[in-house]
Every structure is written in structure tokens, then in C-alpha cells.
């Protein structure tokens, strides 16, 4: 296993069950090489979880860059900003993308620019996982996510609130994430939605 980028954290950890995470791995066999994008820090349990797979991990903690917004009359443009932040090697294609709650902290322009930067690195069988809110009035949570087991996430509360929190309704998010299908959603007790996506790439 190889992994690139990211930092660990020492905040207190709790566990959260997941009904959708295992779906990302249903069609992966022991010999298959898997390339994974993880938006967030490289937590020790996540690295340990993926050590049982033949995989390459890319950790990109975009949360450290918030707020990511367009600046009028300044270069580079927002899409180029994401290209620079993601800094993917040419030609890399991700089998699994772990977005967590990133889209709660990006406005529509930033989501569009992020997807434009990510789109060349997806393929027709790419899968993704993330969270959104069931209702924009739902209580806010600032969390760091990792993977403990195939059906269990690790969750750490952030020490300080992240800037730019502006969650989108599920219907809006479906429209914004135009290169993904929303395959499944699960309503969690705290009114968050756990989401499973698959790539929808026209012309792929």
C-alpha cells in the first residue's frame, strides 16, 4: 500500500456505524489494485484499514484551505485553484472517492470548480461516499472522518468550527454533483444523510 499527503490528529475518537461504506468494496477482490481519494487528514485507523487492500491512497485535506471561494479579478481561477490544491499526478484515475462532508463547506461555484478539476480523474466505475444534511436547519457538526472497519467510521469533533459552512438541500446537491448518480441515501439519527454515489460521465 502507498499513500500520499495528509496529517494525523490526536482529538478524541468515537465510532459511527455505516450502512453504505461496505458498498464501495463489494466488487473489489484481493488482487485488485485500488486507487482511493480521501478528502481529509490521514488518520491512523484509515491507513490501517486500507493496509489490507492492494491500494494507493491520496489524502488531500481541503478542509485546511477553507473557505475556497472565487476572487474577482484575481488569478488563478477557481478551477485552477482546485487543480493546484489537489495536485494529482497526470493520468491517475480514482476507483473510490471519500468526500465526507466537504460539500457542506463549498458554495455552488466551488463545487462546480472542484468537480471540473476531479472529472478527468474519474472513470465509469468510480464510486464515492459522503454526507449531506436532511434539512439545512439541522444542527451543525464539524467532524473529521476516518474508517475503522468496513461498517464502522471513526469520528472526531474538530477543535474549532470550519469557515464557510452553508449546507445544500439534497435536491440542490444532486443538481450540483452532475457527474455522479445518487445511488443510495440513509437518514442518520442526527438528521444527516449518508450518501453513496457512482460516476456518471458522458462520453466516458
pLDDT of 58-109, one tens digit each?
999 999 999 998 776 666 799 999 999 999 999 999 999 999 999 999 999 9
Q: Considering Cα of 9, then 10, then 16, then 22, what sign does the dihedral take?
A: positive
pLDDT higher than threshold 60 for residue 7: no
Q: Which of 22 and 190 is assigned the larger pLDDT?
A: 22
The pTM is what? 0.91
6-15, 130-139, 189-198: least confident range: 6-15
Asked if residues 151 and 109 have their Cβ atoms less than 8 Å apart, the reply is no
Query: Cβ contacts of residue 1 below 8 Å, gap of 6+?
Result: 47, 50, 51, 53, 54, 55, 56, 57
Percent of the chain with pLDDT over 70: 93
What is d(CA 70, CA 92) in angstroms, rounded to the nearest whole number? 26
Topology (CATH) of 2-199: Rossmann fold (3.40.50)
Q: What are the sequence ranges of the domains in the chain? A: 2-199
Amino acid at each position: 500500500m502507498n499513500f500520499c499527503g495528509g496529517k494525523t490528529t490526536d482529538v478524541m475518537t468515537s465510532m459511527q456505524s455505516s450502512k453504505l461504506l461496505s458498498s464501495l468494496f463489494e466488487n473489489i477482490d484481493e488482487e485488485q489494485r485500488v486507487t482511493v481519494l480521501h478528502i481529509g487528514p490521514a488518520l491512523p485507523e484509515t491507513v490501517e484499514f486500507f493496509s489490507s487492500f492492494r491500494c494507493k491512497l491520496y489524502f488531500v485535506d481541503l478542509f485546511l484551505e477553507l473557505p475556497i471561494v472565487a476572487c474577482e479579478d484575481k488569478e488563478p481561477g477557481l478551477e485552477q485553484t482546485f487543480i493546484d490544491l489537489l495536485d494529482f499526478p497526470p493520468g491517475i484515475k480514482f476507483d473510490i472517492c471519500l468526500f465526507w462532508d466537504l460539500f457542506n463547506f463549498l458554495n455552488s461555484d466551488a463545487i462546480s470548480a472542484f468537480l471540473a478539476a476531479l472529472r478527468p480523474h474519474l472513470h465509469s466505475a468510480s464510486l464515492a461516499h459522503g454526507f449531506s444534511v436532511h434539512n439545512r436547519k439541522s444542527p451543525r457538526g464539524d467532524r473529521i472522518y476516518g474508517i475503522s472497519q468496513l461498517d464502522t467510521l471513526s469520528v472526531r469533533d474538530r477543535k474549532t468550527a470550519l469557515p464557510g459552512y452553508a449546507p445544500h438541500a439534497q435536491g440542490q446537491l444532486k443538481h450540483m454533483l452532475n457527474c455522479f448518480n445518487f445511488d443510495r441515501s440513509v437518514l442518520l439519527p442526527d438528521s444527516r444523510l449518508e450518501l453513496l454515489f457512482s460516476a456518471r460521465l458522458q462520453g466516458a
